[in-house]
Amino acid sequence: MQYRKFGSLDWQVSALGFGCMRLPTVDGKPLSGNIDEHESIRMIRHAIDRGVNYVDTAYPYHEKNSEIVTGKALQDGYREKIKLATKSPVWSIKKTEDFDRYLNEQLNKLQTDHIDFYLFHGLDKKNWINVVLKLNLLQRAESALREGKIGHIGFSFHDRYEVFQDIIDGYEAWAFCQIQYNYMDTQHQAGTRGLRYAASKGLAVVIMEPLLGGRLAKPPAPVLEVFEGCGEKTPVDWALQWVWNQPEVSLLLSGMSNMSQVEENIASADVSGVGSMGAEELNVIERASEKYRGMTLIPCTKCGYCLPCPSGVNIPRNIKLFNDGYTYGDAEFGRGTYANYMAEANRAGSCVQCKACEEKCPQQIRVSEWMRKIHAVLGEGKPYPVCK
């Protein structure tokens, strides 16, 4: 196992961290609460025996059962071998006291007296301002730190780069952050700018979704052809090595669902390193990403000129969900986000066909027509239109 510097802390972290969001389940349903405990514990302990020293979970994972199974896996001396990370369910906190209530519940589920790295989960502008700042949760976290219940304070993030920078600049004692990052997300959410900004401030940067929820592991034929013509690396190895190549990355989290994935990722981590990819290999990644980018239906550049929509529709986000589902062959992810993580007013189905956005779109996209098609696919479950 290779080890890397963890921000400003005097500690070396394994290049690979074990993410407990996608543990194997007995019913075969990803993310369900019916975790296969025996196999999950075997996988986690095997990873630790092979050098992994960072285990990450969260309150809502696997219908609130991930922390319980993770706690069981860390018995018999395994807790002392690793640093443990979990996350405060910010969206569920309604009053300041809730912070301590959830933390104490998590300590009990994890069967430990302290959590090494405690994150505010999934921060965006709304939760940062209306929950963390308004309810003085940073002060509550500092109290927990003084009491020895947590070791370091951090956050995971899902919003625009500008919000990411505001959050980092809004608190001086951040030790680390967790961002979504892979070779297709260099300009999405925090992106490369956020990665470098956080590292410049001394924060350790933990990477989640290095395979974009597994979508980069099984690329479509045009992308696969790029990789197959350039050596024996698998698409998984190409994607992981690209992340580890970045000097600002502290570690990469992988949510593993079976032992073969554990073995494959550990083998990749064993040969990882900053600057390990040369110009030719980086060119392969660029060619693969270009193939992906060419496999979209709507030529949106996310410039934002179409906003604000008079009806409140988040046009760029709807288009991205739609395009991503088509590009990666995974419409279900977009449908879940559309139904569960977007307000009805923000969805494509709320478009009233006023066409105000079309007058401002530099790409001359017929937005009103696409909003109908987007809602049909993401909101009504219909297949993608045959447009190419």
3-state DSSP call for residue 279?
helix
- Looking at residue 301, what is its pLDDT? 78
d(CA 139, CA 248): 28
The CA-based dihedral angle spanning residues 274, 278, 283, 286, taken in that order and rounded to the nearest 10 degrees: 0
Distance of CA 319 to the CA centre of its chain: 20
The answer to whether 61 is a known catalytic residue is yes
Structure tokens at 207: 């990477």
pLDDT tens for the chain, 388 residues long, are 999 999 999 999 999 999 999 999 999 888 899 999 999 999 999 999 999 999 999 999 999 999 999 999 999 999 999 999 999 999 999 999 999 999 999 999 999 999 999 999 999 999 999 999 999 999 999 999 999 999 999 999 988 899 999 999 999 999 999 999 999 989 889 999 999 999 999 999 999 999 988 889 989 888 999 998 888 899 999 999 999 999 999 999 999 999 999 999 999 999 999 999 999 999 999 999 999 988 888 888 778 889 999 999 999 999 999 998 888 888 888 898 999 889 999 999 999 999 999 989 988 899 999 999 999 999 999 999 865 4
Nearest to 117 by CA among 244, 255, 6: 6
Residue type, 25: T
Q: What pLDDT shows up at residue 387?
A: 53
Q: Which two tokens stand for residue 337?
A: 């986000």
Q: Could you say which architecture CATH assigns to the domain 3-285?
A: Alpha-Beta Barrel (3.20)
Give residues with Cβ within 8 angstroms of 10, minimum separation 6: none
User: Tokens 């992106």 — which residue?
Assistant: 191
Check 61, 102, 183, 292 and give the catalytic one: 61
Helix axis angle, 235-244 to 259-270, nearest 10° = 50
Q: Are 34 and 25 a contacting pair, CB within 8 Å? A: yes
Nearest to 3 by CA among 55, 52, 68: 52
SS (H, E, C) 194-247: HHHHHHHCCCEEEEECCCCCCHHHCCCHHHHHHHHCCCCCCHHHHHHHHHHCCC
* Residue range(s) in the chain whose domain bears CATH number 3.20.20.100: 3-285
Per-residue pLDDT, 388: 45
